[in-house]
Amino acid sequence: MELDRIEKLLEKYFDASATVAEEKIIRDYFLNEDIPAHLQRYAPMFKYFSNAKEERFTKRLPLRPGNRSYWKGISVAAVVVLVFGIYFGRSYQERKKAEYAYQETKKALSLLALNLERGTEKVAYLREFEETKQKIYNNN
Amino acid sequence: MQQTEFLNVVLPFKDKLFRMAMRLLVSREEAEDATQEIILKLWEKKKAMVGYNNVEAYAMMMTKNFCLDRLKSKQAGNLKLVHSNYSDDSVSLQRQVEVRDSLGWIEKIMQELPEQQKIILQLRDVEQYEYDEISKLLEMSPTAVRVALSRARKTVREKLMEKENYGIG
C-alpha cells in the first residue's frame, strides 16, 4: 500500500475524521504489514488495542433460579397447608375435649348410680322392718 | 425468560462489559466484581429485558454508570488520604518497573485519560463500535464523540512520543 495514503489516513485517524472503513484499513495495516521505520512508533497503539480485546471475563456467574412465580406458588401452598392445619387441628382438639368431658360425666353418673343402689338396699331393710312390725301388730 | 435463554443473550457481550469495567476501574478484581454485579442486575430485570431492542448497549451503559458511580464513591471516601504533592512520584517509580514494554506504557497512558475519553477510546478502538452507536450510548452528539476521540488518540500519541524521546524503560 502506498505510504502516502497511509500517512494521510493516519492523520485523519488522529483527527477522528476517518470513516469506520478507513480506520479498519489503518488498523489492518499496522497489525499485519511490514511497517517502515518512521511509522513503527504507531504500531504499539494498534497492537495494544487488539490485545486489549482479548481480555476475558472468567468469573463464575451465580445465577440462582430466581423464578419468582415458582416461589410464589410454594408460599401460597404453604399458607394453605398452615391454615387447614390450624383449622383441623383445632377441631380435633375440641373433639378430644368433648370425649374427655363425656367420660368424666359417665364416671360421675355411675358413681351416683352406685350410691343410689346402696340407698335402695337400706330401704329394703327398712321394708323388712316394716313388714315385721305389721306382723307384730296383727298378732296383737 | 429461562436461564439458558438469558445466557445466550448475555454471554456474547460479557467480555465487553468486563473490559469496559477494567478500563475504568483498573484493578482486575474490582472489574470482575462489577461485571458480575451488572449481569446479576440484568438477571433480575430479565422480564423487562425482552422489551429492549439492544440489550448489549443497555448493559454497556449500565456498566459505564456503575463504574463511574463506584469511582465517585471511592474518591469521596479517599478524599482525606490524598497528598497531592508527593504521591505522584512514588507511583510513577513503581510503575516504571511494571511498564517495561510499550504496550504496558500505552495502558498506563490510557489510565491517565479523563473517564469520558477512556470510554470512547475503549468503545471505538478496542471494541470497534460504530460512531452512531457510541453517540447513542453516551448520549452525546456525533461531533462531540469525534472531538473527544481525537483528543484521546492525540494524547496517547503525544505521550508515546515523549516516552520515545526520553527513552524511559
In sequence order, the 6+-apart residues with CB closer than 8 A to the CB of B41 are: B62
Alpha carbon of B80: minimum distance to chain A alpha carbons (Å): 33
Residue B6's closest chain A neighbor by CA?
A63
Q: What is the pLDDT of residues A18-51, one digit of tens each?
A: 999 999 999 999 998 788 888 888 988 999 999 9
In the A/B pair of chains, how many CB contacts fall below 8 A?
71
Q: Which of B7, B17, B106 sits opposite A48 (nearest CB)?
A: B106
Residue B108's closest chain A neighbor by CA?
A48
Average pLDDT, rounded, for chain A: 87
Instruction: Tell me the CATH architecture of domain B84-164.
Output: Orthogonal Bundle (1.10)
Alpha carbon of A49: minimum distance to chain B alpha carbons (Å): 5
Residue A17's closest chain B neighbor by CA?
B146
pLDDT for residue B57: 92
Determine the topology of domain B1-82 in CATH: Rna Polymerase Sigma Factor; Chain: A (1.10.1740)
A124 touches chain B (CB under 8 A): no
Segment B111-135 shows an average pLDDT of: 95
pLDDT for residue B89: 47
d(CA B130, CA B80): 41
Region of A61 on the Ramachandran plot (φ > 0 left; ψ -120 to 50 alpha; else beta): beta
Question: CB B106 to CB A44 under 8 A?
Answer: yes
Tell me the percentage of chain B whose pLDDT exceeds 70.
Answer: 83
Alpha carbon of A76: minimum distance to chain B alpha carbons (Å): 22
The residue to which cell 489503518 is assigned: A26
Cβ contact B36:A61 at 8 Å:
yes
Q: What is the pLDDT of residues A52-84, one digit of tens each?
A: 999 899 888 877 765 556 677 788 888 888 898
Reply yes or no on whether the pLDDT at B59 is more than 60: yes
Question: CB B103 to CB A13 under 8 A?
Answer: no
d(CA A90, CA A88): 5
Reply yes or no on whether the pLDDT at B87 is more than 70: no
What are the residue boundaries of the structural domains of chain A, listed by start?
A: 3-52
pLDDT for residue A127: 85
Segment B52-59 shows an average pLDDT of: 88
pLDDT band per the 50, 70, 90 thresholds, residue B126: very high
Reply yes or no on whether the pLDDT at B92 is more than 70: no
HSE-up of residue A69 (Cα within 13 Å, Cβ side): 3
Question: CB B35 to CB A49 under 8 A?
Answer: no
* Portions of chain B given CATH number 1.10.1740.10: 1-82
pLDDT for residue B64: 95
Alpha carbon of B65: minimum distance to chain A alpha carbons (Å): 19
Q: Where would I find the H helices in A40-67?
A: 43-52
A63 touches chain B (CB under 8 A): yes
